[in-house]
Structure 1
Amino acid sequence: MTAQNHIPSKFSRTGTVSALTVAALAGTLLVPGAAPEAQAAGPSYATKALNVAASKKGSPYKYGAAGPTRFDCSGLTLYAYKQAGKTLPRTAQQQYNKTRHISASSLQKGDLVFFHSGGRVYHVGIYAGSNRVWHSPKAGSVVKLERIWTKKVLYGRVR
């Protein structure tokens, strides 16, 4: 008996198989322009969190608040991701510690932007694209969309 006798019948006896045949047998087929299954089901949790944060535009800042009508910076990110089905810790530093750290070139809408100084994270917002973040900046202010104002930022992706 030769090794050729053990080749499944869907494969040619010469050992060549088209990519289409392999994809069909494996149960996956990538079609140009088609959305992956996760995207086809609807927006990702990051997109949902971004939309929740945007919906809170104008909500007043309050230290220690995590919604639904008042927020501090990490309270806004915690609330937005909770509405999207993900759990984050309470503070900006704890959120940074929990996320998967990514480079600026990997940054996508819905990722978290962490502002740091002297080795500690002091502020967080949700990346909205075009170098802008949704955030709750400080006492006397409101949730708003602003340009990232410093280069002292780190990026994290919620897992």
Structure 2
Amino acid sequence: MSGLVLTTTAALGASVLAAGPVHAAAPQRATLAAAPASTVTTTTLTAKQARIAKQRKRADYAVKYAAKQIGDPYRYGGTGPGSWDCSGLAGGSWRKAGVKLPRTTQQIYKAVHKKVSWKGAVKGDLLFFYGGRSHMGIYAGHGYMIHAPSSGKRVKKIKLNGYYKRNFHGAVRPGI
């Protein structure tokens, strides 16, 4: 059997094509003393893109899980299943998505290092309200939030309005 083995190697922005016989022990390759910066950057961006994609997949799962809880009763200290408080719902949803969060609103806000703005919120982000960050919900996208409101009420999806914007006190992005 005869033929050629083609190998490409990126070198300083140019491709090097080496050809050799099929039966050759190892294909010929161009070598450099150090890897070019563009190669390192490409590798880093690929890893970052993979991390972002994984976070988005988890966020989507957390929001879908929270949506399945709509109609469940609020219970102070409730961590589900069946009844929830606001941080129990957020923590339970993200736990199902593979991310463990602390128990309370303040602990969650402090533990999750990626902080986001009101305008920068994306699906799955956790939104915090009031001065002591005593209430939270899961941003469902398109201006909606899923939360466990208070005693006597049930988990629901609501449109974020001026009231919530005025009382907004931060947001975090778990899973990064």
TM range, smaller chain? 0.7 to 0.9
User: Which one of 126, 129, 146 corresponds to residue 138 of structure 2?
Assistant: 126
1:104 aligns with 2:118: yes
TM-score scaled by length of structure 1: 0.73
SS in structure 1 at match of 2:139:
strand
What is the deviation of 1:40? 7.0
Q: Measured at CA, do residues 126 and 17 of structure 1 come closer, stay the same or move farther in structure 2, by a change above 3 Å?
A: same
Q: Measured at CA, do residues 95 and 42 of structure 1 come closer, stay the same or move farther in structure 2, by a change above 3 Å?
A: closer
How high is the sequence identity, in percent, across the aligned residues?
35
Structure with larger Rg: 2
Q: Which runs of 5+ in 2 are unaligned?
A: 1-8, 17-35
Q: Measured at CA, do residues 101 and 54 of structure 1 come closer, stay the same or move farther in structure 2, by a change above 3 Å?
A: same
What is the deviation of 1:42? 9.8
Query: Which position in structure 2 is the counterpart of 1:92?
Result: 105
Q: Measured at CA, do residues 88 and 40 of structure 1 come closer, stay the same or move farther in structure 2, by a change above 3 Å?
A: closer
Q: Which runs of 5+ in 1 are unaligned?
A: 1-8, 31-35
User: Which one of 152, 155, 159 corresponds to residue 167 of structure 2?
Assistant: 152
1:38–1:44 CA contact under 8 A, matched in 2? no
Output the CA distance in 2 between the equivalents of 1:10 and 1:73.
Answer: 52
Q: Measured at CA, do residues 66 and 10 of structure 1 come closer, stay the same or move farther in structure 2, by a change above 3 Å?
A: closer
Output the CA distance in 1 between the equivalents of 2:101 and 2:167.
Answer: 22
What amino acid is the match of 1:17? G
Across the two proteins, how many residue pairs are aligned to each other? 138
What do the CA deviations read for 1:62-81 (whole angstroms, capped 9, x no partner)?
Answer: 11110011001111001101
Output the CA distance in 2 between the equivalents of 1:158 and 1:41.
Answer: 11
TM-score scaled by length of structure 2: 0.67
Greater relative contact order, per chain length (Cα 8 Å cut-off, separation 6+): 1
Output the CA distance in 1 between the equivalents of 2:52 and 2:171.
Answer: 22
What is the deviation of 1:152? 2.1
